[in-house]
Amino acid sequence: MKFKRRTVLSGLVGLSLPMIVASCASNSPTSNSSTSSSPASPEAAASPASPSGPVTVRIGYQKATELDLLRSRGNLDKQIKELGGSVEWSLFPSGPPMLEAMNAGKIDFGGVGESPPIFSQAGGGLFYYASVTPLSGDTQDIVVAKDSSIQSAADLKGKKVALQKGSSAHYLLLKVLEENGIAANEVEVVSLSPADGRSAFEQGNVDAWSIWDPFLAVVQETSNVRSLKVGRERRTFFLSSQQFAKSSPDYLKVVLAAAKENGEWVKQNTRTVAEQFAKDIKVEVSILEEVYKRRSWDVLPVDEKIQEAQQQVADTFYKAQVIPKSIQVKEAFLPQDEYTKVFPS
């Protein structure tokens, strides 16, 4: 697959949503703790959690996501404090830098989409899949201008498609091309952040844009576009560092239980959550509410079917020569006897 990378100042054009800008460049997170508003020192951030003393659970989150809501509600901080520990929250712009931080020993837990873990594992990342949230095909698609000559996915051959490399949108395009008998190198992929991808798409610099919510919902609502209706089910995951899962399984279970409760709460309060985050990410409340309504908030256990699905994602990226080596995703799943001890019933 041919790649073309454009360098632009992120956030200056289009919609700027730090939660979704999946750049693989290094980014510095901002941190806050349940006991202090100042960032932790590098030494403290890199020190592993110890089951024999006070535990600081270090959680990475992205704006307007499940973990951002969990942070803002404060329930988890109270529960961990009752156990004698504390929570340190670190904000990241996207999944890849979050997993870089996890691999560097700076965070213990975080939430990402289905593709960043594949790239992290291929690069030697040490983590475990802790839970899964399935998302429907309505939450992603490939869009074209309303007057475009592209009428179906079969017409993408020879076209320029904007997407974020290594994202679920990238995986969507690869599968769509495969199903339509189009070789990966017969489409020119322009790797752009979602904000810059929207700008390039609306300016006519690319022929199509592979994208997910909330960007998808925004462009469907505000731009003159057609959806190719090729979206498919995808997944988001909560991941734990291997160190945290092994040394503090009881704390991991508390985090997952709080995440499950958080998911159940938001199902009944989507409007409230949309109002809370709309200003932060510069999206209309009505659009964000629709985004939250059409996605799942269930926090479910991972199993062999999830392993198989993630292996397919890994194999697809490897076949397209996007990751450097073949991986076995089962190596990033806890043995079942250990997993049952950390996932809440």
User: Do residues 155 and 131 both lie within one domain?
Assistant: no
Boundary of a domain, candidates 197, 227, 257: 227
Tell me whether residue 23 is in a domain: no
DSSP for residue 226: E
More reliable by pLDDT, 52 or 258: 258
Distance, CA of 163 to CA of 319 (rounded, Å): 18
Q: pLDDT tens digit string along 84-112?
A: 999 999 999 888 889 999 999 999 999 99
Q: pLDDT tens digit string along 114-165?
A: 999 999 999 999 999 999 999 888 899 999 999 999 999 999 999 999 998 8
* pTM for the full predicted model: 0.81
CB 297 within 8 A of CB 66: yes
pLDDT at 205: 97
Tell me whether residue 268 is in a domain: yes
Tell me whether residue 210 is in a domain: yes
Task: Show the DSSP H helices in 12-152 as ranges.
Answer: 42-46, 66-73, 75-82, 95-103, 116-122
Give the lowest-confidence range in 219-223, 298-302, 308-312: 219-223
The residues, ordered by sequence, that sit 6+ positions from 196 with a Cβ below 8 Å of its Cβ are: 6, 8, 10, 13, 14
Tell me whether residue 38 is in a domain: yes
User: Do residues 54 and 6 both lie within one domain?
Assistant: no
DSSP for residue 146: T
β 188-191/234-241 pair status: unpaired
Boundary of a domain, candidates 227, 251, 273: 227
When divided into structural domains, the chain yields a total of 2
Query: Mean pLDDT across the stretch 16-38?
Result: 39
Q: Is 213 left (phi over 0), alpha (psi -120 to 50) or beta?
A: beta
Tell me whether residue 243 is in a domain: yes
Boundary of a domain, candidates 192, 227, 262: 227
Q: How many CB atoms lie within 10 A of CB 15?
A: 18
pLDDT at 2: 54
pLDDT at 95: 85
User: Do residues 123 and 206 both lie within one domain?
Assistant: no
Residue recorded with tokens 């199903």: 179
User: Do residues 129 and 241 both lie within one domain?
Assistant: yes
Distances, alpha carbon 92 to alpha carbons 23, 76, 111, 234, in Å: 11, 19, 10, 21
Q: Is the pLDDT of residue 53 over 70?
A: no
Q: Is 282 left (phi over 0), alpha (psi -120 to 50) or beta?
A: left
Tell me whether residue 111 is in a domain: yes
User: Do residues 69 and 153 both lie within one domain?
Assistant: no
Listing from the earlier edge strand, what are the strands of the sheet with 225-227?
2-5, 188-191, 160-163, 208-212, 140-145, 225-227
- What mean pLDDT value characterizes the chain? 86
pLDDT at 89: 98
pLDDT at 96: 84
User: Do residues 263 and 338 both lie within one domain?
Assistant: yes
> Which domain range does residue 83 map to?
30-135+234-342
Cross-strand partners of 189: 3, 161
Q: pLDDT tens digit string along 192-245?
A: 988 899 999 999 999 999 999 888 999 998 889 999 999 988 899 999 999 999
User: Do residues 143 and 128 both lie within one domain?
Assistant: no
Tell me whether residue 205 is in a domain: yes
Q: Is the pLDDT of residue 30 over 60?
A: no
More reliable by pLDDT, 136 or 334: 334
Tell me whether residue 24 is in a domain: no
Label residue 15 by pLDDT band (50, 70, 90): very low
User: What is the domain-level CATH number for residue 207?
Assistant: 3.40.190.10
Q: Is the pLDDT of residue 6 over 90?
A: no
Q: Is the pLDDT of residue 278 over 50?
A: yes
Q: Is the pLDDT of residue 31 over 60?
A: no
